[in-house]
Amino acid sequence: MSRIRARFWDPSGDRHGIPTYPWQMAPPHLLTLRQLAARGLRPGGQGVQAQILWASRRHGAPGVRAAYLYDVRFALPKRTPTPAQLAALAKATAARRTCPKCEQDAGYVLPRHLGICLDCAQEMAA
């Protein structure tokens, strides 16, 4: 194991506070949020269980970067929105597309800096 890797090898968390692994050396039951999502899972109630640390050589921002890991055994299926939640979401979206001036559904989300539809904004500018 290289010195860099040994620096980040701390499965007991003695040095880093939580179990810490070098890149690609975490046990298979520990997954990042993205990896959980790819399996249709979410962390559930659990907090961060472990971390991967690696030295970033990205130019301009060298330093140690971290990815947080969750235990797949405590993960829960991703919530699928209920019809009521979908309806509420649709309503919120519709509200953001409805111009308060002409009261038309603009067909797009109103630009926040205008707060009205582009047609009305153009009319006011003219």
Q: Note the residues at the interface with Zn ion (CB under 5 A).
A: 99, 101-102, 117, 120
Pair of tokens at residue 105:
């559904």
3 vs 113 by CB, closer to Zn ion: 113
User: What DSSP designation does 84 have?
Assistant: H
**Residues 38, 20: contact at Cβ < 8 Å?**
no
50 vs 120 by CB, closer to Zn ion: 120
Shortest Cβ distance from residue 108 to Zn ion (Å)?
12
50 vs 117 by CB, closer to Zn ion: 117
User: Cα separation of 9 and 72, whole Å?
Assistant: 21
Shortest Cβ distance from residue 20 to Zn ion (Å)?
55
Shortest Cβ distance from residue 90 to Zn ion (Å)?
21
Sheet containing 20-22, strands listed edge to edge, beginning at the edge strand earlier in sequence: 20-22, 50-56, 63-71, 30-31
